[in-house]
Structure 1
Amino acid sequence: MNERVLKTLEFHRLVDMVRDQAETSIGKDLASKIRPKSTLNEVEELQAQTDESVQISRLNKAIPLGGISDIRPSVKRSAIGSVLAADEVLRIGDTLYGGRQTKSFLEQVEDAEIPILQSAAANIIAIRNLEQHINSCIDDHGHIMDAASQSLRSIRSSIRTYESSVRNKLENYTRSNSKMLSDAIITIRNDRYVLPVKQEYRAAIGGIVHDQSSSGQTLFMEPKAVVDMNNKLQDLFSKEKQEIERILKELSGHIASYEQELLNNVYWLSEIDFISARGKLAQKMHAVRPKMNIHGYIKMQQARHPYIPDDQVVANDIEMGKDFQAIVITGPNTGGKTVALKMVGLCTLMAQSGLQVPALDGCEMPIFDEIFADIGDEQSIEQNLSTFSSHMTNIVEIMKHVTDRSLVLFDELGSGTDPQEGAALAMSILDEVLSKNASVIATTHYPELKAYGYNRSQVVNASVEFNVETLRPTYRLLIGVPGRSNAFEISKRLGLDEGIINQAKQLIGVDSHQVENMIASLEQSHSEAERDYEKAHQVLEESERLHQELVKAMNRWEDNKQKIYEKTEEKAEKALLKARQEAEEIVQMMRNMKDQSGMKEHEWIEARKMLDEAMPNLSSNKSTAQPEKKEEQSELKPGDEIKLLTVNQLGEVVEKVNDKEYMVQVGIMKVKVKRSDLELVKKKKKKQAEPIATVRGSNQHVKTELDLRGERYEDAIHKLEKYVDDVLLAGYTQASIIHGKGTGALRKGVQDFVKRHPHIKGSRSGEAGEGGSGVTVIRFE
């Protein structure tokens, strides 16, 4: 994309808006380099990245990027052997921590599909040992801590001892010789403890003079009694400095050993911050993700200029690239033509830069190889060029490079010269650009170009609306309606004599008068159509509301009906259960009496059938609304589980007698039954090798250890929960959980789980032979 059009459309302001949303210096640096892309794959990838960031924002979450800074210069200096300052080392530690937090956050985001951001987070390397080394040596203020080394701790302990001795000695001076001092305080000069002594008592105090006041009346003296102790302190300060230098050198060497990993982390963190910044800007603008195409098709509903505040901007609908490829906007100055022109150009640049577009959902944007713009007064006094010459110089350059993959924006095309010639030249330029199948939006105030749009199928007229009543533009863009000057209406509203206005109307040509009337009629028709559309839209919304209410009412009715069915079924079940229990008691009595009565087998079955027929068959009335279909009779095989309908008992097929009869086993009886009296319950399962399964309730097949290494955090905790349940059922008193050492996150998760579980009595880390800190041994109650 040429830099000229980026400057003309003030693309730098858009860059600044993205930079402002970035949280880190590395993200801001990347945002400052944002440029439109010209291939579909590149743009769609950028749009997908931005959309993932928007998803996170919609969850009211933000990627934690605090503490991250540009550590690349420090890392590169350490790699060539330089010793880093404490604050540089601290920034590296903070960046490592920030990167780890970012990685953890993105890996654990739920309710959002963010594969691109999660892939970027996966590339961040957590270097815990370096981070811990830095944190153990340097505090949050960038000071080397006593714990950084045993030598430093010993040196600083000695310093504190000697400082206390020096102060005690000097405090004795302030108490016993206060009249010789200008002030009873202890101060420091040249890193040595001194007293403010009056000039006349110099000899009385004795010692070394390190400084004096501006008046010369006070000398800052180091008494002889503390000279040796101060010398010792200076020696200790020197050793402290050397030890700090050694510690920083060691840290710098440690950092240098991770040069590539640290530079890799900075790269991915800058990418994540840049993506996050684009998403936050989209949320701030209430923008949407556009559907991209390579066919020059633009469709934006209620599109807004990105630089105009929300309370001032006027949204407009823009569509071109299917029925027509050029829009000619006519109308008076200050009506908003140039704003509309720039809005289309900026929204196109935004889409191609991976930014979402400030419009409603359903937005579609094309990808252009180049955008050309001739906008504004580019008159150059130094080059001795007129406004017209300057515009033509720019247009000539545009004509050399325009293709069918170009968007061309002309503002006041043909202006700055004779109106007739300018209009003719404007039409000729538009024809040439259209012959190359480029997309064009042009603004003009030449009336001749109004007819131009009607005479060419690929061109449509447009205008910016002007309210004659208020004498102000509304900034609404009307596609399909050319603009008119409104000079007579404005003059009349301002109080110009009507006779003058009528005379002026007679002086203009008949054709011009007819065109103005036609335009006025079009504007009126357009306004009426919009009013009708709004009414139809209201009716549609009301219809949809009524439809939704009817659907809700129908759903409520269905729910109530279902509840009634369920209650009926419940009552029927109870009644049927009671009847069956009574029937079973009778059957049992009959069985007991069978041998005594000498009843034959077939007589017993017949009696049972009569009893069953006498039972209340409530199950058939469970749901009158949903009668069950009888299963088609199919061939039965030995082993199939069946229901003998005549006695309402379950049994099993023994053998097939013929096509209509089967021998079945029902309880202790074997009887020959017609196929019509049998109902298939379950087919006989084929025999399979019995799988080795865990037997719950015993310790068979339950291992005494669970290995979670390599598992994701959520999966590991889920497996742990299931394993603990199995172990409890098996009756174990102890089990080992292998989580490894790693980053420590999984170990902490296991320990937190152990603390929360009510049936786990306690836990401990594994011993040397058990895996050490990579294993947690748990004990059960």
Structure 2
Amino acid sequence: MERVIRVLEYEKMKRQLQEHVSSSLGKQKVNQLLPSVELDEVKRWQNETAEGATVRRLKGHVPLGGISDITAHAKRAKIGGSLSASELIEIASTIYGGRTLRKFIVTMVEEEEIELPLLYEYAEQIEPLTDVEREIKQCIDDNGHVLDSASPALRTIRQQVRSYESGVRSKLESITRSSSTQKMLSDAIVTIRNDRFVIPVKQEYRSSFGGIVHDQSSSGATLFIEPQAIVTLNNQLREAKVKEAREIERILAELSSHVALVADELLTNIDLLASLDFIFAKAHYAKYLKATKPKLNDTGYVLLKRARHPLLDADIVVPIDVELGGEYRSLIITGPNTGGKTVTLKTVGLLTLMAQSGLHVPVDDESEMAVYKQVFADIGDEQSIEQSLSTFSSHMTNIVSILDKVDFQSLVLFDELGAGTDPTEGAALAISILDDVYNRGACVVATTHYSELKGYAYNREGAINASVEFDVETLRPTYRLLIGVPGRSNAFAISRRLGLSERIIEKAKEQIDSETNQIENMIESLETSQKSAESEWEKAEKIRAEAEQLRLDLIRQLEEFEKQKERLMKEAEEKAEKAVSKAKEEAEFIIEELREMQKEGLSVKEHQIIDAKKHLEQAAPKLTAQQKKVKKAAAKAKQNIKAGDEVKVISFGQKGFVVEQISESEFQVQMGIMKMKVNKDDLQLIDRPKQVETKPIATLRGSDHHVKSELDLRGERYEDAMRLVEKYIDDALLAGYHSVSIIHGKGSGALRKGVKQLLKKHPHVKGERDGGMNEGGLGNTVVELK
């Protein structure tokens, strides 16, 4: 494995990963990282990285500040050692950082109901250790200075120290300010030597002050003297500082003993924080690489979609598609030495090691990777001068070692298999080695420039050719991997482009047998056909995308048109109704007046009143046939529509069936293969299927019993809710439902977890999933019944 890690540049990849850790704890985890060969372990690691990526996507950051490696501090305290103030403040800071990270993750899971089971498992184990942190911070500030408030004795001692310092400084400053002594001083300042206050005195006035000489300048012209007048004060100050140091030692020892009591919890916290820092580093690295989580298997199947080598510049690297371990287990990449073959080989190898290390890999979604028990690689020039081995001998020594260990759970990578010796013998050896590896069931990717191996994949079931495309016009490889097309020699085409005489090229062609020429022509034809097919596919895909966009635009425009039409009709009706209402009021008033006149004996005919009413009714606005049709359909749409009803979507003129009611005014309707949300006002009820009740069902539920397609548990107690779910599933089965919804709400999540656990154990539940964006999200569980 060590050699494979070296040749596939796994350590370089780890150095990239280290740039994304937040502490020395995470860095240690990266240094210890090695691929796993256990599928379950790799799946857990991949899921951890996926959860870390979810946190970074939703929150943008993770609070990992203040965390440091305090392993040595905790172990020393555990065996009775006394810690320094700076070590203690590092412990307090790490405790605080761990508690902050714990709260961050727990809040996301418990309050925001984000699914992070693995991160939650780590976070819950972090001990808060609030008491120890508080004790340390009450005694030591963030700069590692022991505070006066650490103990009453320390406060008293420091007051004495300050008093003595003030007395000493005052006495010395009076000396430096005195006009009689200023000429004796090199400078009118008070300084410190050997922890005692002194003044700088010129050499010639040494005897004028008495006291003690503590130091002298480099030239000897100045002596730093403690005058006799302050020796006693300095002694008192010195004694007070000794007492201060002893009290600080006592305080630190006491705090260290408190740390010792929780040393095991601290060491556990450190391991948990290291794991979390490492997980979030992997997540950040995945974002940096634009990597995704691959599907995993232990069957040897690999499907890489647009895979990129992580160590190459993302702006220039050409993505490749690789499939291995399905219909074929041997991928033979042929063609001239253009540089692209080895990159392909290393991409497959390094991405395999990354996936087995729990890292997301730079591939498109829906890619799949195998967890191999062993990965072997023979790549590059391994010539050893010390062992006096040729290139061929070195390669063969390594290949022999590989063949001793390879089995059906292995991935083998051969670069320039059989190179370094006679072409005929080398090609024969390469074919024999490939056959042997294939017969053992291993997956193999091999590169070679031998033309004899071009026909290998055509004659072997389970093997396929591939090549790296070469642009003869620019004389450069495009690095595109062409699966199913063997590489062809471009020597003649390149020579022609470089100006070699056509006469020489034609003579060279005469030296090659007709069979080789036929193979080269066939490969050229394959390349042309593949390029043409890819070009046509790209055009078809572009047209399909444009057609889809056009369809969406038309649907949107139609919806907008119908809304506009409905709005205008509504406005016109309201306006007409207002006018008619006003006319009716006026007419009723006139009719009443006429009747009053009639009562009073004035000549008013009854037919005049009838004519007035008739003219009034004719004043109402007349609707066109289409308007009547729309109005009639709208009236029908206001009927009590339910799931299962046959309806007509008025705006589309299409019939369909109501799948479910989304809200009071919205339904999900199935029209052919298309499902869409439709407003209630846009639906016309056509038919409602009759519910057929058999005698057994009537006996169990009563002839008038109706089961809805959803169960609402909101507001129910936990135990009552579980009983309701069990009974509801039985009723739904009897009613013939294949899919039902259980609405439990989000809340604390306890009801949701209880429902999901019950459903997993129920014998008649085929599967369950969270509701989609239009189905209530995490507050709703959709159940498939057997």
> When the two structures are superposed, what TM-score results if normalisation uses the length of structure 2?
0.73
Give, in angstroms, the shift of residue 455 of structure 1: 1.0
Structure 2 equivalent of residue 33 of structure 1: 32
Aligned length: 605
For 2:574 and 2:239, locate their aligned partners in 1 and report how far apart those are by CA, in whole Å: 95
Given residue 3 of structure 1, which amino acid in structure 2 is its aligned partner?
A: E
For 1:499 and 1:237, locate their aligned partners in 2 and report how far apart those are by CA, in whole Å: 100
Structure 2 equivalent of residue 9 of structure 1: 8
For 1:91 and 1:437, locate their aligned partners in 2 and report how far apart those are by CA, in whole Å: 54
Structure 2 equivalent of residue 127 of structure 1: 129
1:347 to 330, 348, 351: 351
Structure 1 equivalent of residue 169 of structure 2: 167
For 1:135 and 1:371, locate their aligned partners in 2 and report how far apart those are by CA, in whole Å: 52
For 1:273 and 1:153, locate their aligned partners in 2 and report how far apart those are by CA, in whole Å: 41
Counterparts of residues 271-282 of structure 1 (less than 5 Å) = 271-282=275-286
Residues 39 and 423 (structure 1), Cα distance of their counterparts in 2 relative to 1, 3 Å cut: same
Residues 342 and 130 (structure 1), Cα distance of their counterparts in 2 relative to 1, 3 Å cut: same
Which runs of 4 or more aligned residues in structure 1 lie more than 6 Å from their structure 2 counterparts after TM superposition? 564-578
C-alpha contact (below 8 Å) 1:414/1:422 kept by paired residues = yes
Give deviations 1:265-318, integer Å, cap 9, x for gaps: 111111110100000000000011101122222111211011001122111111
Give deviations 1:474-493, integer Å, cap 9, x for gaps: 11111111111111111111
Give deviations 1:23-50, integer Å, cap 9, x for gaps: 1111110111111112221111111111
Counterparts of residues 697-736 of structure 1 (less than 5 Å) = none
C-alpha contact (below 8 Å) 1:327/1:462 kept by paired residues = yes
Bigger mean CA deviation after superposition, 101-110 or 532-541: 101-110
Structure 2 equivalent of residue 242 of structure 1: 246
Are positions 1:625 and 2:624 aligned together?
Answer: no
Give, in angstroms, the shift of residue 118 of structure 1: 2.2
Give, in angstroms, the shift of residue 3 of structure 1: 2.0
Give, in angstroms, the shift of residue 255 of structure 1: 0.9
Counterparts of residues 41-190 of structure 1 (less than 5 Å) = 41-59=40-58, 61-109=60-108, 110=112, 112-176=114-178, 177-190=181-194
Residues 149 and 447 (structure 1), Cα distance of their counterparts in 2 relative to 1, 3 Å cut: same
2:372 to 355, 368, 372: 368
Structure 1 equivalent of residue 550 of structure 2: 546
Bigger mean CA deviation after superposition, 272-281 or 261-270: 261-270
C-alpha contact (below 8 Å) 1:293/1:365 kept by paired residues = yes
Residues 204 and 19 (structure 1), Cα distance of their counterparts in 2 relative to 1, 3 Å cut: same
C-alpha contact (below 8 Å) 1:371/1:407 kept by paired residues = yes
Structure 1 equivalent of residue 272 of structure 2: 268
Q: What secondary structure sits across from 2:80 in the alignment?
A: coil
C-alpha contact (below 8 Å) 1:335/1:465 kept by paired residues = no
C-alpha contact (below 8 Å) 1:569/1:623 kept by paired residues = no
Give deviations 1:332-387, integer Å, cap 9, x for gaps: 11331001000001111111111111011111111111111111111112222211
1:307 to 300, 304, 311: 311
Taking only the aligned residue pairs, the percentage that are identical comes to 53
Alpha-carbon RMSD across the aligned residues, in angstroms, is 3.0
For 2:72 and 2:49, locate their aligned partners in 1 and report how far apart those are by CA, in whole Å: 29
Are positions 1:513 and 2:517 aligned together?
Answer: yes
Q: Give ranges in structure 1 of 5+ residues lacking alignment.
A: 582-615, 632-682, 684-692, 694-713, 717-781
Q: What secondary structure sits across from 1:180 in the alignment?
A: coil
Are positions 1:529 and 2:537 aligned together?
Answer: no
C-alpha contact (below 8 Å) 1:297/1:364 kept by paired residues = yes
Structure 2 equivalent of residue 767 of structure 1: none
Give, in angstroms, the shift of residue 558 of structure 1: 4.8
Structure 2 equivalent of residue 222 of structure 1: 226
Give deviations 1:654-681, integer Å, cap 9, x for gaps: xxxxxxxxxxxxxxxxxxxxxxxxxxxx
For 2:478 and 2:336, locate their aligned partners in 1 and report how far apart those are by CA, in whole Å: 12
Residues 40 and 267 (structure 1), Cα distance of their counterparts in 2 relative to 1, 3 Å cut: same
Counterparts of residues 363-762 of structure 1 (less than 5 Å) = 363-560=367-564, 624-625=632-633
C-alpha contact (below 8 Å) 1:288/1:361 kept by paired residues = yes
Q: What secondary structure sits across from 1:477 in the alignment?
A: strand
2:341 to 337, 340, 343: 337
C-alpha contact (below 8 Å) 1:194/1:220 kept by paired residues = yes
C-alpha contact (below 8 Å) 1:565/1:622 kept by paired residues = no
Given residue 86 of structure 1, which amino acid in structure 2 is its aligned partner?
A: A
Given residue 470 of structure 1, which amino acid in structure 2 is its aligned partner?
A: T
Give, in angstroms, the shift of residue 438 of structure 1: 1.0
For 1:573 and 1:48, locate their aligned partners in 2 and report how far apart those are by CA, in whole Å: 64
Structure 2 equivalent of residue 779 of structure 1: none
For 1:567 and 1:31, locate their aligned partners in 2 and report how far apart those are by CA, in whole Å: 69
Q: Give ranges in structure 2 of 5+ residues lacking alignment.
A: 586-619, 641-703, 705-714, 716-745, 749-786
C-alpha contact (below 8 Å) 1:301/1:363 kept by paired residues = yes
Given residue 49 of structure 1, which amino acid in structure 2 is its aligned partner?
A: E
Q: What secondary structure sits across from 1:328 in the alignment?
A: strand
For 1:191 and 1:159, locate their aligned partners in 2 and report how far apart those are by CA, in whole Å: 13
Q: What secondary structure sits across from 2:273 in the alignment?
A: helix
For 1:568 and 1:53, locate their aligned partners in 2 and report how far apart those are by CA, in whole Å: 58
> When the two structures are superposed, what TM-score results if normalisation uses the length of structure 1?
0.73
For 2:496 and 2:305, locate their aligned partners in 1 and report how far apart those are by CA, in whole Å: 36
Q: What secondary structure sits across from 1:144 in the alignment?
A: coil
Residues 120 and 569 (structure 1), Cα distance of their counterparts in 2 relative to 1, 3 Å cut: farther
Residues 514 and 23 (structure 1), Cα distance of their counterparts in 2 relative to 1, 3 Å cut: same
C-alpha contact (below 8 Å) 1:186/1:193 kept by paired residues = yes
For 1:622 and 1:472, locate their aligned partners in 2 and report how far apart those are by CA, in whole Å: 67
Give, in angstroms, the shift of residue 116 of structure 1: 1.7
For 1:328 and 1:279, locate their aligned partners in 2 and report how far apart those are by CA, in whole Å: 34
For 1:566 and 1:372, locate their aligned partners in 2 and report how far apart those are by CA, in whole Å: 76
Residues 574 and 275 (structure 1), Cα distance of their counterparts in 2 relative to 1, 3 Å cut: farther
Given residue 624 of structure 1, which amino acid in structure 2 is its aligned partner?
A: K
Q: What secondary structure sits across from 1:220 in the alignment?
A: strand
C-alpha contact (below 8 Å) 1:290/1:365 kept by paired residues = yes
C-alpha contact (below 8 Å) 1:56/1:112 kept by paired residues = no
For 2:327 and 2:558, locate their aligned partners in 1 and report how far apart those are by CA, in whole Å: 44
C-alpha contact (below 8 Å) 1:335/1:474 kept by paired residues = no
Residues 541 and 622 (structure 1), Cα distance of their counterparts in 2 relative to 1, 3 Å cut: closer
Given residue 632 of structure 2, which amino acid in structure 1 is its aligned partner?
A: T
Bigger mean CA deviation after superposition, 370-379 or 554-563: 554-563
